[in-house]
Amino acid sequence: MKKFIHFLGFAILSLSMTIFLTSCPGPDDPTNPWWPGQNPDDPSTPENPIDPSNPSSDPTEFSGNIDANTTWPDRGLPVDYVVSGRLTVTGNALLTIEPGVTIMFDGNDGYMDVEENAGISMVGTPDKPIVFTGPTNNPNNGSWNYIRVQSTRNDNRLEHVQFIRGGSDDYWDEHAVVRITGKVHMNNCLIDGGLRCGLYVSGSFYSFSNNTITNVVKYPVWIHSHAALYSMGADNTYVANGRNVLNVNASYYDAEDHTTLKRMSIPYFFPNGYDINGAFKYTIEPGVTMLFGSNQKLDMEQQVTFIADGTIDAPITIRGYEDEPGYWAGMNYRSNKAQSVMNYVNISGGGYEDSWTNNHNIFLYNDSRLTMTNCVISNSQYYGIALDHIAVMERITHSNNTFLNCQGGNVWIEDGGEYNGVTYESGQILPQLP
């Protein structure tokens, strides 16, 4: 009898241990709260270890200020982090976001602001981009607001970052999904959607290449500084935007160095005109298109050496935003630099009113110097070229230029006189440059 009782006790104990052991997760079981090497008695074990393989884990929520260096690792979740309302990176803090991270703003008032002395490092990879998006239940443009970088730190980097359905504030044209008022490296990024603009820049770029901006209601880029305009690379893609042009809302440019307006994949648009002034060389690359706002003009001042040297396959185009006669005021040309060139330039649609400063595609002032060849002057509401004085032709070299559909006449002389043995009358209209 005693032997039976002992046997029964041992059997019960063995069965209990078996049940216990089989019910407990092993060290390789992902449900095990203590992973290999994580022992509750080990002081190095985190109090709340995050399991990136557990899809049931909740995203981490942030709002308010980040005032110390902070890193957001990839947690392996559909949404790794949620920004509630405003998030400001302040002081000298650097916020580092690692590849593969997805950040969701919880409403259309959500935004991230990197202040003047702070920094942002968001470096994804082609396979693991960093993604900013709005609430999952709002698939529309404007589901969140914007990201702004105010600092000029060299470690400000946006690489392989996707900004999806942002730009909620649609009151001002310059309101955009990404706003750069400082200076950043921005490469291989995607801006997809925006109620106004995709990118607003009043600062500049250390680098700006291989970015795509698409599905923006108005402009893909709103440029509010010359530093931004001339620091942008030419290898970016802009497609399916409301007005697929680079909006240059900086109307006066004064420089001391050689500057080149690069050929982009879409036109430049100068809604308030453009005044180029300074003792420097200004070059427009072959294939560039410059569009101007209603009644606006392009002013080329005296000290500028103007080089617009297009080719037969890649002419330079200068016209109004709407390609129609009289849409814009034309070009006022004052450069007195003998090296200035216009070659294979198509300029059209000027002459918005019948006044001596606005009645032309090109107005050549008295002291102008220019070599003008292979150009097409067309569709002026009044005159193709206006001459301040017939004497200006002593400093103009020209050949093989074509006039088309200039409604008031091809060449108009404001002040007449004698040139090359011929007397010309004030107000006289000519079929060609003399």
* Residues β-bridged to residue 133: 104
Helix (H, G, I), strand (E, B) or coil at 12: helix
How many other C-beta atoms are found inside a 10 Å radius of the C-beta of residue 163? 26
> d(Cα 117, Cα 294) in Å, to the nearest integer?
40
* Residues β-bridged to residue 290: 268, 318
Nearest to 201 by CA among 177, 225, 220, 167: 225
Distance of CA 30 to the CA centre of its chain: 45
CB 183 within 8 A of CB 206: yes
CB 87 within 8 A of CB 63: yes
What mean pLDDT do residues 61-89 have?
A: 96
DSSP state of 395: G
Helix (H, G, I), strand (E, B) or coil at 43: coil
The model's pTM: 0.85
CB 228 within 8 A of CB 203: yes
> d(Cα 317, Cα 305) in Å, to the nearest integer?
19
pLDDT band at 20 (very low <50, low <70, confident <90, very high): very low
Q: Which of 10-19, 277-286, 406-415, 424-433 has the lowest mean pLDDT?
A: 10-19
* Residue in the structure block whose two tokens are 């006189």: 417
91: alpha, beta or left? (left if phi > 0; alpha if psi -120 to 50): left
> d(Cα 10, Cα 4) in Å, to the nearest integer?
10
99: amino acid identity, one letter: P
Helices (H), 164-282: 226-231
CB 207 within 8 A of CB 180: no
What mean pLDDT do residues 113-117 have?
A: 98
CB 394 within 8 A of CB 369: no
Distance of CA 227 to the CA centre of its chain: 12
Q: Which of 50-54, 239-243, 282-286, 396-400 has the lowest mean pLDDT?
A: 50-54
Sign of CA dihedral 122, 126, 132, 136: negative
Q: Which of 137-146, 169-178, 197-206, 392-401 has the lowest mean pLDDT?
A: 169-178
What H or E segment, with its residue span, contains residue 95?
strand 94-97
Q: What is the mean pLDDT of the chain?
A: 88
pLDDT at position 253 is 74
* Residue in the structure block whose two tokens are 């690692």: 98
